[in-house]
A and B are shown apart, each in its own frame.
Chain A
Amino acid sequence: MGAIMSAPMLLSYLARQAEAAPRTVGSSKILVLVQLSGGNDGLNTVIPYTDPAYLKLRPAIGIKPDAVLKLNDKIGLNPNMGPFQDLHKAGKLAIIQGVGYPNPNRSHFRSIEIWQTAEPVKVKETGWIGRYLDLANSGKSTADNIFPAINVDPILPKTLSAQKVVVPSISDIKNFTFKADPRYEADRALRLETFNNIYQNYPAVKANSHPYVEELRRVGLDTTEASRSIAKMVADYKSDVKYPNNGFGRGLQFISQLIAGGVNCGIYNITLGGFDTHTNEQRGHENLFRTLCQGIQAFQSDLENHNLDKDVIVMTFSEFGRRVAENGGRGTDHGAAAPMFVIGSSVKGGIIGDQPSLTDLDDGDLKYKIDFRSVYATILDKWLHADSKSILLDKYDQLPLFA
């Protein structure tokens, strides 16, 4: 959308949009990113319940062995993660243990940025998925490219920050339409046309100023175009699956609706917040894990019912795990390495890597075993069929995430 279009060009462009073919089953791969904001405590998520150090370091908030949902004779899941135990049994859940990066940063804001940009050393403006999108969409016409990715949150995360493509954020389909006085539809159409004509050609007036005008213009155009084409595609979605009745559940259902509607989009992003459990962690986790696991299980079932499950995987990540020892408030402070989950019918279920030692620590924190960029590289190369080296700027070990 960088080029300026004249009005006749715009009209033909919109006409092409209306005819853009929907995505067909099996034609491409879809990645759903679930950001767990706040820094999820990995040790009370995937629990090393037989390690005596675990309950010793966590006398108040440690989960007792009989309550743990056991996955094998060493590790198990938090008692509120029943649906993930089922997914594990069905071979649709991969757990990657001890994921982190060198010299971990314990600031929420810097560490999430590191995860989003895949660059631990210096601040980078583009996200790892943003760089993938720039490469994957180069040479494609904008008409085929209106949804390079969809962010199902009000704020666009740096993960999706790209240089060449605009990623729309849509969290509420009802309000996502260009409104005007409902009594005069012709006037609404004229306003919308005027809006588009203005936005097609809106150069900054003063040179050396207006740093935001061009970006506003691009996002603005994307806003009306996305709303136009999306409303049509999601109209026929039907589902009997019950999602958790909260923002995260509705967001996942919306993603499922978009996929089932044939929206041509390969990347979705959604966030679940509240993982900064400095106090009363067990109570906080109870709600969080129910929402997370029931939501993802519903999403998986919904996709299976629509025969789309083989095309989609879900990956969870968080800015950091937490300190091994609990604090005085029945919670945990900011730490380092933690497990990640990858879910889907095409995923090779199981446990990848070993639980880092609870006693050989780095300043009170777990030492990471698997670099998070190995997970990204595997997904980029094996799932999205991209070239991870040109996106992550280095080669990382591949993990056995897919059969």
Chain B
Amino acid sequence: MYLQNNTFRKNGLGNFGELLLNVSKDPAMIVWLDNQQNTKNKPNENYAREVMELFTMGIGNYTEKDVKEAARAFTGWMAPNGFYFNRKQHDTQDKTFLGQTGNFGGEDIIKILVARPETANFISRKLICFYCLDNPDQKYIERIAEVFSNSKQDLRATLEAIFKSPEFRSDKAYHAKIKSPAEYVIGTLKSLQVDKLDGDLPAVMARMGQNLFEPPNVKGWDGGMSWIATDTLMERFNFAARIATQKFDAKEGYINPVVLANQFDAKNAQDMVDHFLDRLVDKDVPANARKQLLAYVAAAAPPTGTQSSNVTAKLDAKALEGKMRGLLHLIMTLPTYQLS
């Protein structure tokens, strides 16, 4: 999986055809999708199907016959210790794949797939969904797909087109995606300047539904609302509580609420609420949420026992710290904080 991750990093902004070829020949793919068992006399269809359904054209654009023919073309691709082409196990008869006939090998199948218009649409859609918004409209997809095709499947050019598109900066794309657990956890640590990384963070993300390097299946994580169920959401709330509660010690690198508050010159409840709503959720909350947070910070309650409902009253250091922790916890539980 480490090698595969390197392959993604190396080819991620390059040519899609090269990326697909390298990923297809990557031992992780060959082993995981059973191509080691894909032999001349007994073809195994696993990779042939998934490369079309999940990595190029998408479902509905090929027949069961295409699956079987592509499987024959991938016979002999093995990875006993790095990629190895086992000539003896390769089927050298003609294959008819998506209307073309020839003595195809795996490379030919990948070339044919990469050039298909369905692939341009499929990959463009995926990139838009990952970086911009879910459920993009067809016209937007087609505009990006044109860039993908015209640039001979150059991913950098395709991404540039997405980032420069008006849709990318539209209201529709604003806070329109749900943070993945990795985005939620790592994003929180970065924005609260937490330097100390606890060893169990991967386990925390796994309980939120994202076990890094171990996707639930070859399709990967679905994203969107599939991240959000009662127990995965509770994990997020409790991670927020933990980050907000942990003992501070500047040397240890955990959050120090007083330092954070001082950075913003936050002296009273109103300063704190407004500064941190700005910093963590771009002030994108309804009036009621702000009102409730102000009430929480100003309320007389343990741990501080401060008696004041005046949101502009100056807080002493102890009150500041106690209330800051609660405030950060609560902001991180907001619906908007789950969004990116």
Contacts and interface: CB of A to CB of B under 8 A. Distances in A.
B49 A202 contact: no
Interface stretch (A45-53, A172-180, A388-396): A172-180
A156 B44 contact: no
B64 interface: yes
A212 B173 CA distance: 12
B326 A155 contact: no
B171 interface: yes
Nearest to B219: A109
A216 interface: yes
B59 A169 contact: no
Nearest to B172: A209
Contacts of A205: 284-286
A348 to B, nearest CB: 35
B228 A216 contact: yes
A180 to B, nearest CB: 5
26 contacts: A108-B219, A166-B230, A168-B229, A168-B231, A169-B229, A175-B235, A187-B302, A187-B303, A190-B326, A191-B329, A198-B288, A199-B335, A205-B284, A206-B171, A208-B171, A209-B174, A219-B229, A219-B233, A223-B234, A278-B44, A278-B46, A279-B34, A328-B38, A328-B39, A334-B45, A363-B64
A213 interface: yes
Kindly list the 6 A-B residue pairs having the minimum CB-CB distance in the complex, ordered from nearest: A328-B42, A329-B37, A169-B229, A168-B230, A216-B335, A278-B34
Nearest to B326: A191
Contacts of A204: 286
Given A187-B326, A194-B292, A216 B226 contact: no
A63 B113 CA distance: 39
A178 B237 contact: yes
A198 B39 contact: no
**Interface centre among B38, B229, B237, by most A CB within 10 Å?**
B229
B257 to A, nearest CB: 12
A26 to B, nearest CB: 28
Contacts of A226: 230
Contacts of B209: 154-155
Contact of B230 (A190, A206, A209, A219): A219
Contacts of A217: 335
Contacts, number: 207
A313 to B, nearest CB: 25
A151 B77 CA distance: 40
Contact of A170 (B36, B39, B224, B230): B230
Given A110-B59, A178-B238, A211-B134, 6 more contacts: A176-B231, A191-B326, A197-B288, A227-B234, A326-B42, A328-B39
Interface stretch (B114-122, B185-193, B293-301, B310-318): B293-301
B336 A213 contact: yes
What size tier do the contact residues of chain B reach?
A: 35 or more
Given A151-B229, A169-B230, A333 B45 contact: yes
A155 B207 contact: no
B319 to A, nearest CB: 12
A124 B143 CA distance: 27
Nearest to B45: A333
Contact of B241 (A180, A215, A327): A180
Interface of A: 106-110, 151, 154-156, 166, 168-172, 175-181, 183-184, 186-187, 190-191, 194-195, 197-199, 201-206, 208-213, 215-217, 219-220, 222-223, 226-227, 273, 276, 278-279, 326-331, 333-334, 363
Contacts of B289: 198, 202
A93 to B, nearest CB: 29
Contacts of A209: 171-176
A175 B238 contact: yes
A194 B176 contact: no
A330 B135 CA distance: 41
B250 interface: no
A195 B230 contact: no
A154 B296 contact: no
**Interface centre among B219, B228, B284, by most A CB within 10 Å?**
B228
Contacts of B226: 155-156
Contacts of A186: 301-302
Given A110-B59, A175-B207, A278-B46, A201 B238 contact: no
Nearest to B323: A187
Interface in B236-265: 237-238, 241-242, 245
Contacts of A154: 207, 209, 229, 231-232
Contact of B292 (A187, A198, A215): A198
B53 interface: yes
A172 B329 CA distance: 22
Contacts of B325: 181
Given A206-B171, A278-B34, A333 B44 contact: yes
A215 B228 contact: yes
B178 interface: yes
B334 interface: yes
Contact of B228 (A176, A177, A206, A219): A219
A240 B223 CA distance: 40
A322 B232 CA distance: 33
A198 B330 contact: yes
Contacts of B338: 212, 216
